[in-house]
Chain A
């Protein structure tokens, strides 16, 4: 397997203090790695370092065989897309205009789209069932709708590697499932995905591998089926968990608590 993103003994953080260290991973085409852990465990920081916005504090990270710091931005943007947790949009752009910005790395400095770019953007909107947002100003949309537009933008960008920072945050249940279904379909078609997720059940249904981060280190890394269990999640979140198997065979996890 050729890894699109790989890390060896990686420590990431702001300034000099590592948030998390000792991360080693390989993400190849057609696989989805879910990153789980409590708030502040370094999940987003790991994505930022992988994209080259933060230098690694120690260890190595390689994107398509080269340090992310050395990639020319536009070259990299043609191959890697990122869905941030939130965006500070100037609310004046329309949904379609925002999604079309995903085509910017493939266009000149002016970003004038052609027919193909336009149809890719519209297809991405259709795929996420948000074609009705095309003409709406992003400033008027809800957090979940903006999220869906960012996801559509990443799909329109046509990357080989997709980095998702809590893609399901703010989404209703139907959209959570639908979005992850669409992402999973792209993974089956060869896309590599790293997704920061908070929902262990969604992770269990879409991830091939999981990376569990806690207390500045790696609690576990391996196949999802093996590493997602009530016991592991208990030590990950410091919360008693129960595991149930649904009639269809899918495993689900829930915190065990009394009011």
Chain B
């Protein structure tokens, strides 16, 4: 008697890959991976931390390093990575464009322009560039949504975003030539994307924002599958196309704006993580959106750990965006060359 006949009837087969059971198993596995990344990142670093001592003696140096420095930074990395990768997955599906990186909708240009303006004028002495980056990206997002809504094509939003980013880059170059060289250094470091120290209150606020946005994206993920067939086809299957598109764009952009405000522009996470997972798990957004969030969290936390471990070698802390680009760029080209990234 064959094994097939003995096996209990399961919904997931090669023909139908999405089932609650398979999704749960994969997400649990990825969650364990992300948790392990956070743990490793909390233990390793320039200061040799003894986890046992840190946990047993709350007053020790080890405990201070663990709870005040390493854990907040790992949590920050996890939040930013989750936000960028899940938004990247949703936007690639929504815009039907494999190159749609979460920054493409004008968010990067808006954030950079907002922060640069604030740094140049000297406003950042009070609250830091984050708030202005957030405001800039929200303003850019509003512009892209307003222009994109008036046309019925997903490409309108994409083109508006690309044009806005180009405009913002020109404006930033203009500002950089006008301000003093040390301010330019500050701006450049910020733009390259880096994780630093954030207060527990900021982290809690960011976590609430990211969980809410991820929840919205995950809830819409079934409709994102249908939208991949085309707007009219999706509408004929009951999808309220305009509303779904607006909700997804809004949630993804807010999530990315929140991430950019905390870390600057960390590239490649939103591009490489969804593509890798798509390759492994198939095109179903119901699985890709949450899986990207967990894998993106793990990937960014480990990339940040690498910047810290490289510190003794390069005598400076590389921006984490440099590490993700150095790791992600060649990997992406390799995938593309093997024809594994869908055109």
Q: In the complex, which residues of chain B have a beta carbon less than 8 angstroms from the beta carbon of A108?
A: 222
Q: In the complex, which residues of chain A have a beta carbon less than 8 angstroms from the beta carbon of B93?
A: 90
Q: In the complex, which residues of chain A have a beta carbon less than 8 angstroms from the beta carbon of B17?
A: 94, 97
User: Contact: A94 with B96, CB < 8 Å?
Assistant: no
The answer to whether the Cβ of B237 comes within 8 Å of any Cβ in the partner chain is yes
The distance in angstroms between the C-alpha atoms of A74 and B286, with both chains bound, is 19
- The closest CB in chain A to the CB of B286 belongs to A110
User: Contact: A101 with B342, CB < 8 Å?
Assistant: no
The answer to whether the Cβ of B235 comes within 8 Å of any Cβ in the partner chain is yes
Contact residues of B between 286 and 300, Cβ < 8 Å to A: 286
In angstroms, how far is the closest chain A Cβ from the Cβ of B20? 7
Choose from A51, A94, A113 the contact partner of B236 (Cβ within 8 Å): A51
User: Contact: A81 with B236, CB < 8 Å?
Assistant: yes
The answer to whether the Cβ of B240 comes within 8 Å of any Cβ in the partner chain is yes
- The closest CB in chain B to the CB of A97 belongs to B16
Annotate B214-248 by CB proximity to A: 1 below 8 A, 0 otherwise.
00000111110110111011011111110000000
User: Contact: B16 with A90, CB < 8 Å?
Assistant: no
The distance in angstroms between the C-alpha atoms of A101 and B16, with both chains bound, is 11
In angstroms, how far is the closest chain B Cβ from the Cβ of A157? 8
User: Contact: A77 with B237, CB < 8 Å?
Assistant: yes
Interchain pairs with CB closer than 8 A, number: 102
- The closest CB in chain A to the CB of B285 belongs to A90
Q: In the complex, which residues of chain B have a beta carbon less than 8 angstroms from the beta carbon of A53?
A: 232, 235
Q: In the complex, which residues of chain A have a beta carbon less than 8 angstroms from the beta carbon of B228?
A: 89-90, 93
The answer to whether the Cβ of B14 comes within 8 Å of any Cβ in the partner chain is yes
Interface size of A by Cβ–Cβ distance < 8 Å?
Answer: 40
User: Contact: B240 with A109, CB < 8 Å?
Assistant: no
In angstroms, how far is the closest chain A Cβ from the Cβ of B155? 13
Would you list 13 pairs from A and B whose C-beta atoms are within 8 A, ordered by A residue?
A73-B238, A73-B240, A80-B236, A91-B342, A96-B15, A97-B16, A101-B229, A110-B221, A110-B286, A112-B20, A134-B15, A135-B15, A139-B342
Choose from B96, B222, B283 the contact partner of A104 (Cβ within 8 Å): B222
- The closest CB in chain A to the CB of B282 belongs to A92
Interface size of B by Cβ–Cβ distance < 8 Å?
Answer: 35
Q: In the complex, which residues of chain A have a beta carbon less than 8 angstroms from the beta carbon of B235?
A: 51, 53, 73
User: Contact: A84 with B15, CB < 8 Å?
Assistant: no
Interface residues of B (CB under 8 A from A): 11, 13-18, 20, 93, 96, 219-223, 225-226, 228-230, 232-233, 235-241, 278, 282-284, 286, 342
The distance in angstroms between the C-alpha atoms of A139 and B278, with both chains bound, is 15
Interface centre among B17, B220, B230, B283 (most CB of A within 10 A): B283
The answer to whether the Cβ of A13 comes within 8 Å of any Cβ in the partner chain is no
Q: In the complex, which residues of chain B have a beta carbon less than 8 angstroms from the beta carbon of A255?
A: none
Choose from A109, A110, A135 the contact partner of B14 (Cβ within 8 Å): A135
In angstroms, how far is the closest chain A Cβ from the Cβ of B254? 20
Q: In the complex, which residues of chain A have a beta carbon less than 8 angstroms from the beta carbon of B236?
A: 51, 77, 80-82, 84
Q: In the complex, which residues of chain B have a beta carbon less than 8 angstroms from the beta carbon of A81?
A: 236
Would you list the 10 A-B pairs with minimal beta carbon distance, nearest first? A77-B238, A92-B283, A105-B238, A74-B238, A82-B236, A90-B228, A96-B15, A135-B15, A111-B222, A110-B222
- The closest CB in chain A to the CB of B241 belongs to A73
User: Contact: A48 with B232, CB < 8 Å?
Assistant: yes
User: Contact: B342 with A118, CB < 8 Å?
Assistant: no
In angstroms, how far is the closest chain B Cβ from the Cβ of A78? 7
Q: A94-B14, A95-B15, A135-B14 are in contact. Are A89 and B237 (CB under 8 A)?
A: no
The distance in angstroms between the C-alpha atoms of A92 and B238, with both chains bound, is 21
Interface centre among A84, A111, A135 (most CB of B within 10 A): A111
Give 7 new A-B contacts, CB below 8 A, not counting A82-B232, A113-B16, A157-B237.
A51-B232, A77-B236, A87-B230, A90-B228, A90-B342, A97-B15, A110-B222
